[in-house]
Amino acid sequence: MPTFCDVALPVPLDMAFTYKIAEQQPVIGGRVLVPFRNDRLSGVVTALHDREPTVKTKTVLQVLDAEPVLDDALMQLGQWIAQYYLAPIGDVFRTMLPLAAEIKKARVYQITETGHEALHASATVGSSRRSHQEIDAQLLEYDVLNYLSMSDEVLEGTIRSATGANRQVLENLLRKKWISRRDATAARDARRTIQVAVLKEAVGKLNENQQALVAALQTAAEGRLAVEVLRELTPDVPRSTLQTLVKRGIVELAEEAADFNVSTMKKRGPAHLDFIFSPAQKAALTTIQQASESRTFSVSLLHGVTGSGKTAVYLAAMQSVLESGRSAILLVPEIGLTPAAAANLHQVFGDEVAILHSALTGDERAEQWHRIRRGEARIVVGTRSAVFAPVSNLALIVVDEEHDSSYKQEETPRYHGRDVAVMRAKLSSAAVVLASATPSVESYYNAQSGKYRLIELRERVERRPLPEVEVVDMKAEFQASGEDQIFARRLIEEVTERLARGEQAMILLNRRGYSSVVLCRSCGENVQCKNCAISMTFHKAGYRLECHYCGYKQAVPKVCPKCQSEHIHFLGTGSEKVEERLHAAFPQARIGRLDRDTVKSRHDFERVLNQFHANEINLLVGTQMIAKGHDVHGVTLVGVVGADFALGFPDFRAAERTFQLLTQVAGRAGRGETPGRVILQVYYSEHYAIEFTQRHDYGGFYEKEIRYRKWMHYPPFSSLANVLVRSDKLDQALLWTGKLGRWFEGTKNEGVRILGPSVAPIMRLKRDYRYHFILKSPSREKLNLALRKMQAFADQQKIPRTNVILDVDALSLM
Ligand SMILES: [Zn+2]
Ligand SMILES: [Zn+2]
């Protein structure tokens, strides 16, 4: 039996920590609870051994898992992520395991000897020279001591609710050493359970209420229903009826592990969907099926124009994986915002699907994880982190809308879900399908160079035409009307026509709020966020200014904060203003809006979308939220206001992002019987991102873009990392940036180009001043080595890890 184990803990250090094993033996890939500094932390065991460490070791407090929670392939995947993205392995494992809810964080307090003495002496307190507040504060402290003196150890929450003391009071008592505290974090005793009613035998005479309960149970599989569900099904039956049935032995109650979202009605098997496929879809399906059956690693890029039926193809492929007894994972950018969610996943996959979305609580997330782990759900659908789902016998991973930037995690570990999916498939000898109408330049390059297999769907289903795209130059509109207009005359004409015909339209402006700039006409002062170097956006609903980067809100100033002038002007347009102006232009229209101000939950989103589907809304306004995958057949017109405004961003991916967004939103038009039309309002009509969108020419766009990338040594021709230095103190940020700059200058980092230091495009964000370096190299190994050496230097200079961000394959350079 090994005496020591190495544990990866979620702390910002690139090492595992060695602990002595107590009587219970841990397993590699399983979790243990260990003391770390003054805390208790749970971590994953990475090794078992007998090598006595040179430093004194602490002992494992508790073994949390008898079986590994990360199998070999997932352990390897975690190691790869830690290595590739330069992230601490403990942080990586924590990201991979959504089981935090199983550990209960707790602090317990105890009264000390000195505390007892102080309490004893308290009878003599009460000198008259103190204020009421001082006396009250002291009385509260004695209340706490008194309460603690009655028991051995008390949880923080219990003391606070029993005495009304806040954390400050406890801190004061700790400082006086009247009380002591320890971390009592531990695994929770048991998994959450639910009460289940089981129908035994319906004998004897039953009254009406009893019959209702029995009937409800009879419709359920094996006559079992969660009591909660039974109550929902029979709202008029009094609670005592169930108790009577239990007493009579007709129904039995049992405690079962709660499994979120498992259908408690009759078990549903997968419905075999007969998709009606075009020859192109059929060919695509066959290729994907062969790849997933081959038990070898492969990557396919499924590039299909909008409306070509990609979703049906990969759902059918996943269904055949399920039928063959193996597992599949589907990654989607945002749950609820995808066509995959619109296709009823439960209908396609029965109860064998686990859907992981952001609205799950910690408990629900852990339950779903266990369900997948037990093999009860072999199809997993979810956002980025679903790539870590513990399925066994993995055959296929589908990454839908693979170009979407939400696959990149913008906190440690800064992994890209799509790239991790490819690595996971490689480690499991499985197939990956990357699907998109607008593949990322990197993925298409891999397909062109033969690294990925390219599967193309060039036509829409039922040979429906792609919409006609019209580009309107807003400079000409201005000259014609003599003033700035939000809508071009052509757009107004077209909307009028659609409304008259009972058709629907979508208007996109990828910027929320009412006005994006608040400016003083007298002195030119632009009202900026106090935490960020970003203009505040005016929101008319609520009449306030808001920073879209940190969320800071403030009242609308009546006079200029700089010169006191009253000439404050609101410039620029956001989706809120677009909606208002559409109401004015089309008073009869029913208008809905989708953006982060109107959508607070998945529910809001679905409600508006359902109304749009039902044609209760004629005009839908919104940000990029409306561009994603919706299939509303009544939409025959899409208008885009400010179609080119993102082209001005200082980011080498600006053209790619613009092309993707415009192509995606254009793809919403004309998916039904009637052909669609798209109107793009632009100022730079000659930009190639606009030109190729107009021609539906992905290939043309790619050719142009890839030449630029090659010329500029940008991905995919080089690997790129962003090193961001940040501090809320300007001099500190400058000092660290200077140190790193001199280190880069004085160190030979062969084969790596270092740009910077320079001020980050957003110079101040969430109170931090920001500087950055961009590292580029044709060799990933050399880039990684340079970053590693730099990180060692930063550690040695005692620059905290949270102040130097290493972002490998950074998507945002802002
Ligand atoms: Zn002013
Ligand atoms: Zn801000």
Write out pLDDT tens, residues 705-755. 999 999 999 999 999 999 999 999 999 999 999 999 999 999 999 999 999
Q: How far is CA 630 from CA 463, 539, 606, 625, 636, in A?
A: 19, 27, 11, 10, 13
> What is the spatial distance between Cα 363 and Cα 373, in angstroms, rounded to a whole number?
15
CB 64 within 8 A of CB 30: yes
User: Which bound ligand lies closest to the C-alpha atom of 550?
Assistant: 2
Residue 127: CB partners within 8 Å, gap ≥ 6?
none
User: Which bound ligand lies closest to the C-alpha atom of 526?
Assistant: 1
Identify the CA nearest to 115 among candidates 92, 146, 88, 89. Answer: 146
CB 366 within 8 A of CB 393: no
* The one-letter amino acid at 259: D
pLDDT at 293: 97
User: Which bound ligand lies closest to the C-alpha atom of 521?
Assistant: 1
Q: Helix or strand or coil: residue 771?
A: strand
Residue with tokens 């049906």: 312
Measured in Å, residue 547 CA sits from the centre of ligand 1 at 20
> What is the spatial distance between Cα 540 and Cα 584, in angstroms, rounded to a whole number?
16
User: Which bound ligand lies closest to the C-alpha atom of 524?
Assistant: 1
Measured in Å, residue 599 CA sits from the centre of ligand 2 at 21
- E-strand stretches of 438-583: 453-457, 468-473, 504-508, 517-520, 537-539, 544-546, 553-555, 568-571
> What is the spatial distance between Cα 86 and Cα 806, in angstroms, rounded to a whole number?
7
User: Which bound ligand lies closest to the C-alpha atom of 522?
Assistant: 1
Burial class (CB within 10 angstroms; exposed 0-12, middle 13-18, buried 19+) of 14: middle
Measured in Å, residue 559 CA sits from the centre of ligand 2 at 21
* The one-letter amino acid at 89: I
User: Which bound ligand lies closest to the C-alpha atom of 564?
Assistant: 1
Query: CA end-to-end span of the chain, whole Å?
Result: 52
CB 798 within 8 A of CB 709: no
Measured in Å, residue 664 CA sits from the centre of ligand 2 at 30
pLDDT at 269: 64
pTM value? 0.84
* The one-letter amino acid at 598: T
* The one-letter amino acid at 499: L
User: Which bound ligand lies closest to the C-alpha atom of 566?
Assistant: 1
Measured in Å, residue 741 CA sits from the centre of ligand 2 at 28
Using only the alpha carbons of the chain, give its radius of gyration: 31
Measured in Å, residue 561 CA sits from the centre of ligand 1 at 7
- E-strand stretches of 623-663: 635-640
Q: Helix or strand or coil: residue 751?
A: coil
CB 31 within 8 A of CB 101: no
Q: In what order do the strands lie in the sheet with 537-539?
A: 537-539, 544-546, 553-555
Q: What is the pLDDT of residues 418-474, one digit of tens each?
A: 999 999 999 999 999 999 999 999 999 999 999 999 999 999 988 899 999 999 999
User: Which bound ligand lies closest to the C-alpha atom of 567?
Assistant: 1
Measured in Å, residue 564 CA sits from the centre of ligand 1 at 6
pLDDT at 268: 62
- What is the residue-wise DSSP string for 213-269? HHHHHHHSGGGEEEHHHHHHH-TTS-HHHHHHHHHTTSEEEEEEE--TT---SS--P
Measured in Å, residue 252 CA sits from the centre of ligand 2 at 58
Measured in Å, residue 649 CA sits from the centre of ligand 1 at 27
Measured in Å, residue 572 CA sits from the centre of ligand 1 at 18
CB 331 within 8 A of CB 223: no
pLDDT at 262: 41
C-alpha atoms less than 13 angstroms from C-alpha of 729 in its C-beta half-sphere? 4
Residue numbers of the chain with a pLDDT score lower than 70: 123-130, 189-193, 257-274, 335-343, 629
> What is the spatial distance between Cα 702 and Cα 700, in angstroms, rounded to a whole number?
5
Helix (H) or strand (E) holding 719: strand 719-727
Identify the CA nearest to 393 among candidates 300, 290, 317, 293. Answer: 293
> What is the spatial distance between Cα 698 and Cα 682, in angstroms, rounded to a whole number?
20
CB 79 within 8 A of CB 86: no
> What is the spatial distance between Cα 338 and Cα 398, in angstroms, rounded to a whole number?
14
pLDDT at 419: 98
User: Which bound ligand lies closest to the C-alpha atom of 519?
Assistant: 1
Measured in Å, residue 536 CA sits from the centre of ligand 2 at 8
pLDDT at 643: 95
Cα maximum dimension of the chain = 94
pLDDT at 36: 93
Measured in Å, residue 567 CA sits from the centre of ligand 1 at 8
User: Which bound ligand lies closest to the C-alpha atom of 553?
Assistant: 2
> What is the spatial distance between Cα 612 and Cα 632, in angstroms, rounded to a whole number?
8
Tokens of 736: 């660290």
What residues have a C-beta under 5 A from ligand 1, the ion?
Answer: 520, 522-523, 525, 560, 562-563, 565
> What is the spatial distance between Cα 762 and Cα 769, in angstroms, rounded to a whole number?
9
Residue 132: CB partners within 8 Å, gap ≥ 6?
none
> What is the spatial distance between Cα 35 and Cα 51, in angstroms, rounded to a whole number?
20
Measured in Å, residue 264 CA sits from the centre of ligand 1 at 64
